[in-house]
Homo-oligomer: A and B are copies of this chain.
């Protein structure tokens, strides 16, 4: 298959298209996860939207042979794939929903090709995880370096030790177990590379280039993306809306899907096809 043909992209990123609407929603998963992580959220949008799911190269059932450490050494490589997928899905009026690092990937994609996007939904986004002067990212550089070294030395150990902290919600241990299992299914070398690309990224200087309106879904007690980061993004992103969720931990798409759905639906204009979103539904 030739690169950039629809079948090539569909296979590379294991693209799934569902739903009955005409407007497209693209859902992008975060580090160590795959499109399966959206399973509690997407049913609410299938009647009103065309729902596009995919796996980043290196994740889920993507084509691992396409993993290129140079291309995926920055978030721009992942953003390029998002643009391929968005073009495949029609390339206009797209609502992009990105979790965690994919929120930033979506921002980079929408800076590159704003004409393709109508709105971005940013779930637990952070443009920089490391504290820097007045900027609070949540981690000192040493914390991040130790997390990456731990991961380098023992990826499965890292997965088991860190999943409970990242997921939060210790009262529901099955959530952390699902995240841990998802981490463990990922190829360790690719995961380590993606982790480094993610946790050492700093896209604060790009934020004022975004023109597409965005919704920032900020969780409570999220050790990966603190509230100060959501507030920072809200200040830096023109046309952004900040919602502080009751959901705790870093994965509200898994731990609080109802609140996630409601928060997204409340932000979106009524869809033009199907039954529309939640607010229209009786």
Q: What residues of chain A have their CB less than 8 Å away from a CB belonging to chain B?
A: 131, 136, 138-140, 142-143, 145-147, 149-150, 153-154, 156-158, 160-165, 168-171, 173, 176-177, 180, 220-228, 248-249
Question: Quick check: B147 and A161 within 8 Å, CB to CB?
Answer: yes
Point out the residues of chain B lying under 8 angstroms from A169, CB to CB: 221
**A141-B146 Cα distance, complex, nearest whole Å:** 23
Q: Name which of A146, A156, A157, A248 has the most chain B CB atoms within 10 A of its CB.
A: A146
* Contact yes or no, B177 A160, CB < 8 A: no
Say yes or no: A164 contacts B139, CB within 8 Å: yes
A162: chain B residues at CB < 8 Å are 161, 165
- Given contacts A146-B158, A170-B223, could you give 5 more A-B pairs where the C-beta distance is less than 8 Å? A138-B170, A146-B161, A162-B165, A164-B223, A170-B225
CB distance from A196 to the nearest CB of B (A): 15
A149 to B156, CA, bound (A): 12
Contacts of A136 in B (CB 8 A): 170-171, 173
A173 lies within 8 A of B140 (CB): yes
- Measured in the bound complex, the distance between the Cα atoms of B140 and A131 in whole Å is 31
State how many angstroms separate the Cβ of A242 from the closest Cβ of chain B: 14
The 8 Å CB contact of A143, one of B161, B223, B224, is B161
Q: Which residues of B contact A131 (CB under 8 A)?
A: 173
Whole-angstrom distance between the alpha carbons of A120 and B35 in the complex?
48
| Given contacts A138-B173, A173-B140, A154 and B161 within 8 Å (CB-CB) | no
